[in-house]
Every structure is written in structure tokens, then in C-alpha cells.
Structure 1
């Protein structure tokens, strides 16, 4: 006869069925820009997307903390800039390719980049009600200066900086960015350079930055030179003291009678001292209006 089927063990029958684990959501695929912007080019960790009012914010954002030069030196971005990945990559390529060789000839290379402004949810030029700025889209960077390894700082709008150096930077940024605004564009950009990658019809570009000449050197005002025919100063001082006009006023004062002596003489003659009538003051009655 067939063997009876074994009964299920109590421990197995009482064991609850394990709940199925939810599948992990797939990791978002990195953009081509994010894959290209490696740590060999820049220290730029990704940050969450920003979706603000009025279209403010953006996607594929990074925090650009430093730019890595081909020789592995790092150029700090101070403070770190919140930018779209494409804009951060353009800034990194500009510093690595154009600014680093230029700074190397000035004083041992570039050490930092002065970030005046990056992402900020606002209208153009901070005017209330104005069109959304590229800063509000995390698509712009305002650069004020870059620091050198020897401790010096090169301000891009300082008229004392050699003109040819500033013109070199001008041609560099206008070839790379779609918008460049600096001194002469409007009074909002007199102390820094605005860079962005705004997209316009027909790839229209704006490059408005007047590189002004250095201010003229103004010498301090000095006293006029003493004429050659003038006598020496000691002789001139003695001649001034011996002039008759200098003692004339003293003699005139001595000849004037003293008012106190005149009063004493009048009292000795038995008369009252002469008094001059005092002008009377008219009192004005206050008028109530």
C-alpha cells in the first residue's frame, strides 16, 4: 500500500508569508553634461531641482565649489555658485583654458574666483516686476575678480589694471557666453562682469563691456616758485618791519584821546561826564493771527 502523505509541519504552517519588498525606484539617469563634468574638471556635486514661483529655478543643478586645473590644482569659487550643469561646465572650461594661462604669467597662477552672484530668484537688475533674470534660472554668474597665488587680486573693472589684460578677458568671455555685461552697459554692472548662456533667436549675442583707459595721474598742487629777482627771505622780513606804514597805525592810536581820561577831566572841572544819547528801541506789540 502507498505510504500516507506526510502532514505539514506545524512550524511551517504557522509561518506567515513574507511580504514582497517594494522595488527600489530606478536612479535618475545622469545627463550628458553631468557625466562630462567629472571631478577631474570641477568639484560640483549635484543638488535637487528647484521649482519656484514664476519659472524660478531649474533642473540639472550643481553647486560649483572649485575648478580643477589640468595640473590638478584647484581654483576655489568663493562663495560656491549654484548653477545649471551646462553653465557650470562653461565656467570651468573658461577658467581652465583661458584664465589659468593668463594668470600664470601674472603671479604664479590663479587661486580663486570671486563669485559676486549666481542663483537668485529675482527679476532683472533686482527691479520689482521685471522679467525673470537669468540668475533666477541658475543660468548666470557675476564675476568681480580672480585671485592669484601670490596673494594679489585682479579686479576685472579696475581701471588701474593694464588695459590689454582686461581686453584679453573681454574677448575671451564674449567668445564663450551669449551675454556679457560690464561697465558701460548700464550702471548696474559697473563693478562686476555678468556672464550667462541665455538662448535667443538666431543665437543672438550681447557683448557690452567698455574697457576704460586708466585715470590720469593728477599731481598735488604746490605753491608757486619764488621769483629769481625776489630778495632773500631774511632781507624781505627785515624790510617789512622797517616800513613806515607798519608804525603809522601805532602812532595814530597813541594820538587818540582815551575816553576814560576825558571823563576824569570833565569831572575835575565840576561838570558831569559827557554822555551820548542812546538810541531808543521801539517795542513791537505782538500780533495774534
Structure 2
């Protein structure tokens, strides 16, 4: 066989570069094993105990620990104990010497009890003064005790805009003759609404009661201030009752005991129409029967402000119901005899009628129909007798 360098290279593909890379790999693995062996925990602990360094001499930052000197604890000297035969120590507090003011010493002030009031000198020089109440409004000044009994009450600020300011509790309206018309119960209203109610009662309702031959004594308050929506519907717009700007009236009571219900059909129509015209001329909103189904038994009055002073007056004055056949019998007349006597008389009359009927039946002659069969029988008997003879 003929071997040449070129052929040998093709048969065994080794070169210098391949041998060099193999040598580098073997060297790296050997160095890694040596380092791992040097970092064995047991070996490292022994070297620290003996103070020996690895063969690379602290190349990777490891240093031998140097022994430190033990810390010296200084002893603090204590005082010697007091001898038993030493004199007793007097109190270190200075004695208080009572001196009179004449000797120049200021008198010691006595302690003041905790519940004692503060003197003028102890009171602060500048104390915060409470805010002065606002002056009364023009409406409050005009609504005097000669017109209405309406004491002022604090302002109300509720949720959703409920309440209002310049509020009063309208208890009664004073007529020009000093007679009082009570509101039952008392109404919580704004001063302007209370003034309008008082003017209506004094100017319109009092003359109406006088025309009926009496005087007004009570005003039936069905509802005044109440924080709620319109018609008590959940989520509805705030009612004027929630602003203390409305009053629901059910009727009035007269001094002679009569009651006038504003929605009763039995009340004369002209009386109800007179009240209708008076309230529609004074108030911004009037709701009654026929308005929305929520005011069939009372009249709603308020002073709601609208654009161009627009008013709403919805109150149908219904006619009385038609007369129908009574469901019950008419009342017994006062001049009628007692029921027991009348019942006995009716019984005697019935017995007498029966006796008369029986007598009349016995006195009547027999009818031809009743006598007919007897006659036919008699004829047969007579015929038999004739044939036998």
C-alpha cells in the first residue's frame, strides 16, 4: 500500500486545530474539578480553622480571619454603703415659711374647685359670639297674632330639597271679630302659604258660613308638610308638600255642628261652586275630583311658581247622584200606632174576615151544576118506580 500525506489526511481526518480544541476542553474540565474540590464545605471549614489559604492564595477574595482581642468590660465603681451610726437625712424639700403680705411675700393662691365658675380674670378675653338670628321677613311681620296663631319654627333642610325657610306652624286663624278658626291638626307651612290660607278663611269662608246661618269653627287639615314625591309615587318629582308650600283641605265645620265636605255631592252645588271660585282666584294650583284620581276626597291647594304665573284649577263640581228606588223601606211615621197594637189589630181583622167569608159561603144557594147530578139520580129512581108499577 502506498501511503502519502495527502491520502493519510483523507483517511484519518485529524488536524492541529482539532487537537488544540480537545486539549483546551480537557484543561477546562480539570480546572473546574479542582475549584469545586477547593470549595468543599468541609475543606473550607478546616482551612478557616487553621488559617490556611488555598493554593491560589486568596485570588478570589477569600482572606484568612484574624483573631480579635476579647472586649474589655469596664467595672463601674459603686458608692460605699452608709454607716449604720450615721445621722438620719432630713427632707430635701425646702420648708415653706408663712410670711404675711407686710413682709413682702405674695400670698399663695388657694386651689379652685373644678366645678367652680371661672372668674372674670380667668375667662378668655375674646369669646366667639353666637351668630345672630336673621331678622324676621316681611311676611313674618305681617302675619301677626291679630291675623293668625302661627309661631315660627326652625328651618328644615331635608334630603332631595325637602323643607324650606321662614316656616311657621299654623294653629288657628283669627277672624275680624276675634273668633278663632282652628286648623286640626296644626299645619307646617311656609309663611307665604300660611298667610294665603289665613286671608282665604277670613275673607271668603267666614262670609260663606254667615250666609248659611252660622260661623266657621274648624278647618279640616288633611295634609301639610311631608317630605315625599307627588301623589306619594316612588321616584316622582318632589311634591309641594315636601317644600311646605301646600295644604290639603277636606272640609270645614260650622259652629252649629254641621260639616261641609268640599267633595260631597250632597252639599248644595252653589256652595261648592262658590268655594271653587274663591280658591282658584287665590292659589296657583287647585286639584280636586276629576283632576288625576288622587284628589277625589279632598282639595289640594299650593303656591307653586310657574312661568308667566300660570295657574292650574282642576276641580269638577259633580251633580248629586240620581234618585233611585230605595233599598230600604221608608221610615215609620211618628203618628203610627205601636207595632204590637198594629199587629194585633191586623190579626183580629183577619179572623173577622175569615168568619164573614164562611157565613157568606153557607148562605149562598146551590149552583145548577151542583144540583144537576142529584136531579139526574132522582129521575132514574122515579123511572124505576114507574116501571115496577
Shared topology, TM-score over 0.5? yes
Quick one: distance in 1 between partners of 2:189 and 2:105? 63
Which one of 117, 121, 124 corresponds to residue 19 of structure 1? 124
Q: Corresponding residue for 2:191?
A: 85
Is residue 2:257 matched to residue 1:151? yes
Cα offset, 1:108, TM superposition: 1.8
TM-score relative to the length of structure 1: 0.71
Cα offset, 1:219, TM superposition: 2.9
Quick one: distance in 2 between partners of 1:23 and 1:127? 45
Which one of 247, 264, 274 corresponds to residue 141 of structure 1? 247
- Unaligned segments of structure 2, at least 5 residues: 1-103, 111-118, 329-352, 359-389
Q: Corresponding residue for 1:271?
A: none
Q: Corresponding residue for 1:41?
A: 147
Quick one: distance in 2 between partners of 1:80 and 1:99? 18
Is residue 2:296 matched to residue 1:190? yes
Q: Corresponding residue for 1:171?
A: 277
- Map of 1:1-289 to 2, 5 A cutoff? 16=121, 18-20=123-125, 22-220=128-326
Partner-residue secondary structure (3-state), 1:217: coil
In 2, are the aligned partners of 1:107 and 1:149 still within 8 Å (CA)?
no
Cα offset, 1:135, TM superposition: 0.5
Partner-residue secondary structure (3-state), 1:19: coil
Q: Name which one, 1 or 2, has greater alpha-carbon Rg.
A: 2
Cα offset, 1:187, TM superposition: 1.1
Quick one: distance in 2 between partners of 1:172 and 1:10? 84
Residue-by-residue CA offset, 1:27-55 (whole Å, 9 max, x unaligned):
32001111110010000011111111111
Cα offset, 1:106, TM superposition: 1.6
In 2, are the aligned partners of 1:118 and 1:141 still within 8 Å (CA)?
yes
Partner-residue secondary structure (3-state), 1:99: helix
- Distance change >3 Å, CA 213–CA 9, structure 1 → 2: farther
Residue-by-residue CA offset, 1:161-186 (whole Å, 9 max, x unaligned):
00000000000000000000000101
The structure showing larger relative contact order (alpha-carbon pairs under 8 Å, at least 6 residues apart) is 1
Quick one: distance in 2 between partners of 1:63 and 1:221? 47
Alpha-carbon RMSD across the aligned residues, in angstroms, is 2.7
Which consecutive aligned stretches of 4+ in structure 1 deviate over 4 angstroms post-superposition?
8-11
In 2, are the aligned partners of 1:80 and 1:115 still within 8 Å (CA)?
yes
Alignment length (residue pairs): 220
Partner-residue secondary structure (3-state), 2:228: coil
Partner-residue secondary structure (3-state), 1:96: helix
Cα offset, 1:210, TM superposition: 0.3
- Distance change >3 Å, CA 55–CA 221, structure 1 → 2: closer
Partner-residue secondary structure (3-state), 2:286: strand
Cα offset, 1:18, TM superposition: 4.7
Quick one: distance in 2 between partners of 1:9 and 1:103? 88
Partner-residue secondary structure (3-state), 1:216: coil
Quick one: distance in 2 between partners of 1:221 and 1:42? 47
- Distance change >3 Å, CA 221–CA 90, structure 1 → 2: closer
- Distance change >3 Å, CA 28–CA 152, structure 1 → 2: same
Quick one: distance in 2 between partners of 1:160 and 1:220? 16
Residue-by-residue CA offset, 1:181-229 (whole Å, 9 max, x unaligned):
000101100000000000001111000000011112223379xxxxxxx
- Unaligned segments of structure 1, at least 5 residues: 1-7, 223-232, 239-289
